[in-house]
């Protein structure tokens, strides 16, 4: 048996107002007068106060990124070309500011500036050859755990798959809870539930160990304070929950909900957070307590999910989703342990999708 040897973010800042320290952090990377930084900022912040606080110098490149669609290999390759057109030299840092999508774009561009041939080539595990440009993640939406993870999830020509590698991990993250306070309630809920579901899948899984449990239990407790208790420091708590949920699954695995959600996302285009919520709502048999509590959280925040999405879809469409969900072996191994192949039948998955 070989144990996972995984890399974590080496430097992090946490605290209200800590975004103001970004300039100081970047000063350490700027060594020559013409050294430049690339900022990839979610365009939702374009005309907001945050826009004026981004410490851009005249030689830097700031790109407003649109995340209406989840990041794709095409978008990453276009952004990389745009950055390369800015200067012949390499950027000294790439800073991603936004939700999981903007942070993933920053990770991917930082990798593609030093690895040739386009991002689709590197979708998979440990295919990256050269270290990335220094990169910084700054969440403005919390839940995905992208700030903590060693992947950047991209929709590619063949499938939705991450570029998983030690080089993908951020060199620095800045977690400033003030930045997430204005997220719209629905989005705040869906992305936060990504974290809640990470915890449930990790804690209920066969891969569970004391490392994952320590992070998962604390993250789950924080999610409860945020979504059931309306804690006055909810933003701080959710930000830490997201990070710790990410650390929990880093040493275990996600489960049935993420498997179904990947199918929904790839075939029907549902975004990660809402896709997870829709899938989780039919998983009573897998996670009875978790699903019950999730419904309490939905009710408390007046969230209604789309229903009956798959009921009348053609059999071929369902079959495509079943294929995606079934291909995620490690997730099912985490759910059922050895022998999962016999349990995860087309019939089981078809029945689950038909209930969505």
Residue given tokens 């999730």 in the structure block: 294
Contact by Cβ (8 Å): 70, 86: no
176 near Fe ion (CB under 5 A)? no
The window from 26-34, 194-202, 208-216, 280-288 that contacts Fe ion (CB under 5 A) reads 194-202
In the range 16-55, which residues lie near ligand NAD by CB under 6 A?
Answer: 42, 44
Cβ-based neighbour number of residue 319 at 10 Å: 15
User: Phi first, then psi: what are they for 270, rounded to 5°?
Assistant: -70, 140
Q: Which is nearer to ligand NAD, 49 or 58 (CB)?
A: 49
275 near ligand NAD (CB under 6 A)? no
- What share of residues in the chain are helix, strand, coil (percent, to 5)? 50, 10, 40
The window from 86-94, 187-195, 232-240, 277-285 that contacts Fe ion (CB under 5 A) reads 187-195
Beta bridge partners of 138: 97
42 touches which of Fe ion, ligand NAD, none (CB within 5 to 8 A by kind)? ligand NAD
Selected from 177, 273, 275, 290, the binder of ligand NAD by CB under 6 A is 273
**Residue 139, H or E segment:** strand 135-139
Selected from 72, 123, 144, 212, the binder of ligand NAD by CB under 6 A is 144
Q: How far is the C-alpha of 289 from the C-alpha of 303, rounded, in Å?
A: 19
Handedness of CA 86, 88, 93, 94 (dihedral sign): positive
Cβ-based neighbour number of residue 209 at 10 Å: 13
Q: Which is nearer to ligand NAD, 141 or 310 (CB)?
A: 141
Give the contacts of 313 (CB within 8 A, at least 6 positions apart): none
70 near Fe ion (CB under 5 A)? no
The window from 67-75, 81-89, 214-222, 324-332 that contacts ligand NAD (CB under 6 A) reads 67-75
Q: How far is the C-alpha of 124 from the C-alpha of 145, rounded, in Å?
A: 19
Selected from 153, 195, 322, 356, the binder of ligand NAD by CB under 6 A is 153
Q: How far is the CB of 42 from ligand NAD (least distance, A)?
A: 5
Q: Which residues bind to Fe ion, rule: CB under 5 A? A: 194
Q: Which residues bind to ligand NAD, rule: CB under 6 A? A: 42, 44, 67, 70-71, 98-102, 104, 140-141, 144-146, 149, 151-153, 180, 182-184, 187, 191, 271-273
């Amino acid at each position: 048996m070989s144990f996972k040897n995984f890399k974590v973010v080496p430097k992090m800042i946490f605290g209200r107002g800590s975004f103001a320290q970004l300039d100081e952090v970047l000063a350490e990377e700027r060594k020559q007068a013409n050294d430049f930084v690339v900022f990839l900022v979610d365009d939702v912040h374009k005309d907001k106060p945050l826009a004026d606080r981004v410490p851009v110098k005249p030689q830097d490149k700031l790109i407003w990124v649109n995340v209406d669609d989840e990041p794709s290999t095409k978008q990453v390759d276009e952004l990389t070309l745009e950055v390369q057109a800015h200067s012949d030299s390499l950027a000294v840092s790439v800073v991603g500011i936004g939700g999981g999508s903007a942070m993933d774009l920053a990770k991917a561009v930082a990798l593609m500036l030093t690895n040739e041939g386009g991002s689709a080539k590197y979708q998979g595990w440990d295919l990256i050859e050269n270290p990335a440009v220094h990169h910084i993640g700054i969440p403005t939406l919390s839940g995905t755990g992208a700030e903590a993870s060693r992947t950047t999830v991209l929709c590619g020509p063949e499938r939705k798959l991450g570029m998983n590698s030690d080089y993908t991990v951020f060199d620095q993250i800045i977690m400033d809870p003030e930045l997430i306070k204005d997220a719209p309630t629905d989005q705040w809920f869906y992305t936060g539930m990504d974290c809640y579901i990470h915890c449930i899948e990790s804690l209920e899984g066969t891969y569970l160990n004391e490392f994952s449990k320590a992070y998962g239990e604390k993250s789950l407790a924080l999610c409860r304070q945020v979504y059931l208790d309306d804690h006055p420091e909810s933003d701080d708590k959710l930000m830490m929950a997201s990070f710790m949920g990410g650390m929990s699954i880093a040493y275990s695995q996600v489960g049935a909900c993420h498997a179904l959600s990947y199918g929904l996302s790839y075939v029907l285009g549902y975004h990660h957070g809402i896709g997870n919520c829709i899938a989780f709502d039919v998983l009573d048999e897998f996670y009875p307590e978790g699903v019950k509590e999730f419904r309490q959280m939905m009710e408390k925040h007046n969230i209604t999910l789309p229903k009956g999405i798959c009921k009348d879809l053609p059999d071929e469409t369902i079959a495509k989703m079943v294929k995606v969900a079934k291909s995620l072996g490690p997730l099912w191994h985490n759910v059922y342990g050895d022998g999962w192949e016999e349990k995860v039948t087309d019939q089981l998955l078809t029945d689950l999708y038909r209930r969505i």
